Structure 1
Amino acid sequence: MAEYTTVSIPKDLAERVDETIEGTSFSSTSDLVRFLLRSIVIQYEQSDGLTEAEFEEITDQLVDLGYLE
């Protein structure tokens, strides 16, 4: 069985995520965060590292989603 850890995000961001995932296949903020992190890790592993442009693109996407400021 998988072990889990907790990641903290601001409540206002959690509310924005809840609104964002409404009507999608994501049932919770945790589902979305797991999906995003897996996507980033898979992209990193497949490319033997991220280029600066790829890192900036991911960062921009996370800013757009409200995960980064």
Structure 2
Amino acid sequence: MNMDDAELVLRKAITFFVNAYPEQKNEVEEALDTLFEITRKASSIAAECQQLLDECLQLMQNFPFSTLKTS
């Protein structure tokens, strides 16, 4: 399951919950939106870090005087 699928499942579950407890709808939806926003940001940061690490490792492998080993 990817992040988009998980978001859809959770939004459906929240819809059932807020139908049973409508007085908590705004609070629950705001919390869910915040959670998904933070998750998307974290995923984006992780992907960017991975790309930069890959570039760094490539540069290290190409440097003729490198004393570091990469695996």
TM category, shorter: 0.3 to 0.5
Structure with greater proportional helix content: 2
Q: Of the two, which has the highest radius of gyration?
A: 2
Structure number with greater CO (CA < 8 Å, separation at least 6) is 1
